[in-house]
Amino acid sequence: MALAAYLRVWLASARYSVVRTLMFRGDFFIWSMVELFWMAVNLLLITVIYQHTDSIAGWSEYEMLLLVGTAMLIQRLLMGFFWSSLFEMGRNVRTGAFDFFLAQPGHPLFMASTRKLDLDGLLNSFIAGGVVIYAAHRLGLHPSVFDIALYAGLVVAGLAVHYSILVLTMSLSFWLKSAQNIEGSYFTIAEFSRLPREAFRGIASVAFVWVLPAVVVGNAPARTLLHGFQPWWALWLVGAAAGWVSLAVFVFNRGLRQYSSASS
């Protein structure tokens, strides 16, 4: 299946998602408000903490705001583009409804992870982007076009890491007879992307910086805006994204061999 064909399939799915959302405007409004409230609570927490201290792990209030805004931006993009589709994948595998994706013309992982868009998540990604811009303004930052382009590229790389972790989590459904609540484990891992690298020491550093690069996902783009191009951080995040995407695809493909369809 050619790249252009995949793009046409994705556009058709996007149009379907928009039409579906317009049919249930109340649901769209409520979930948008829920996500916005969750983001507001996180930002308010930063304000409250910094009323009692000037620095956390060497990060000032607006530096932390920029970091958290970046982490929220990546997570909102994941929610908007992939969450609903991948969240349903586990249930479809357990019920045999995953047959539908096996009958599609493209790779099952692409078909299963891009079937739906969540417009509420995409809408709130603009709010998260606004938080980053506000924090950068308060810090007096003037990033170059190259820095902005690099920041965007690293956000995409961070999105790839989050996507891979979610795919790996959902792929457990191929092996587990009862995989309820495994979806929530993603959020536990994602929480670390909002914390400064300097806050991790010892085993925690090995686990969440080197083995599972959850911390690097948010720190690498944020540091690009704060300090300009830092080759180590950029290469580490891009390399981690490539490695984790490859691992996710491999595990998913192995899981397909374990799948028992509804007709078998």
Question: Above pLDDT 70, what percent of the chain?
Answer: 94
Neighbours of 61 (CB within 10 A): 19
Between CA 179 and CA 183, with CA 180 as vertex, the angle to 5 degrees is 90
* pLDDT tens digit sequence for 202-213: 787 777 777 778
pTM of the model: 0.89
- Helices 3-23 and 119-138: crossing angle in degrees, nearest 10, is 100
**Stronger pLDDT, 183 or 40, i.e. the higher one:** 40
More confident residue, 186 or 157: 157
Residues in the chain, overall count = 264
Q: How is 31-52 classified by DSSP, letter by letter?
A: HHHHHHHHHHHHHHHHHHHTTS
